[in-house]
Amino acid sequence: MTNLTDINVPGPTTIPLTEPFWDAAAEGRFILQLCGGCQQHVFYPREICPHCWSGDLHWVPASGQGTLKSFTIVHRPGHPGWMAVTPYTVGLVALAEGPTMLSHILGDAPQVGQAVGFAPTNIGGRVLPCFRIITSQTTPKGDLA
């Protein structure tokens, strides 16, 4: 069975604005932009706040906690590089801070509404901000293999 670390898939197309988000995830930290104008969190990173158009956005540590808003178990991926690790789960994570983020979901038997936690995981040689389903037996932990 192929490990997520070993697949050859497209990584993030970063720009200077978004690099702090990816760099933090690679170091095991989850951060979001917070708007100084309206005090709402923003995802994905932007130059102005989509709620109030303030340019006063700054990076803050985020909880890494959320709930699974929806998910899909992918059998036929849109990119061939993912074929080796099928089936795998992609989900929408409603972050505790407000925004929704799409991510790779680790853990078995996902259900809509379940709690998930930040789980930095090596995909194709880069550590990305994935999420793991939290059950009573598990504490969220990354797979940094």
Partner 1 sequence: MSLARSKAAIVGVGELAPIRRTVGESTLGMLARCAALALTDSGLEKAEIDGLLVGPQVGETPQHVPATMAEYLGLMPTMSNVVDLGGASGLGMIWRAAAAIEAGMCEAVLCVIGNHRNSDAPRSPNRNPIREFDVPFGASGANVAYALLKQAHMAQYGSTDADFALIAHWARANAQLTPEAIFYGQPASVDEILASPMIAAPLHKFEIVMPVAGAEAVIVTSAKRAKDRGMTAVHLLGAGEKITHRAVSQAPDLTSGPLKPSMARAFAQSGTRVQDMSLLSLYDCYTVMVATTLEDSGICPPGGFGAFMRDHDFGPAGRYPMNSNGGQLGFGQPDLAGGMVHVVDAVHQLRGTATGRQIQGAELALVTGNGATMSEAVALVLGADV
| Minimal distance, residue 136 CB to partner 1, in Å | 21
The answer for 144, left when phi > 0, alpha when psi is -120 to 50, beta otherwise, is alpha
d(CA 29, CA 36): 21
Q: Decide which of partner 1, Zn ion, none touches 44; Cβ closer than 5 to 8 Å per partner kind.
A: partner 1
The answer for 85, left when phi > 0, alpha when psi is -120 to 50, beta otherwise, is alpha
Would you count residue 98 as binding partner 1 (CB under 8 A)?
no
Given the DSSP bridges, would you call strands 100-106 and 126-133 parallel, antiparallel or unpaired? parallel
Tally of CA atoms within 13 A in the half-sphere of 131 that contains its CB:
30
Q: Which stretch binds partner 1 (CB under 8 A): 26-34, 55-63, 83-91, 132-140?
A: 83-91
Applying CB under 5 A, among 24, 25, 31, 35 the residue interacting with Zn ion is 35
Would you count residue 20 as binding Zn ion (CB under 5 A)?
no
Would you count residue 38 as binding Zn ion (CB under 5 A)?
yes
Tell which residue, 90, 98, 80, has the closest CA to residue 130: 90
| Minimal distance, residue 44 CB to partner 1, in Å | 5
Would you count residue 118 as binding partner 1 (CB under 8 A)?
no
Omega of the bond leading into 129 within 30 degrees of 0 (cis) = no
| Minimal distance, residue 18 CB to partner 1, in Å | 6
Give me the residues that bind Zn ion (CB under 5 A), please: 35, 37-38, 49, 51-52, 54
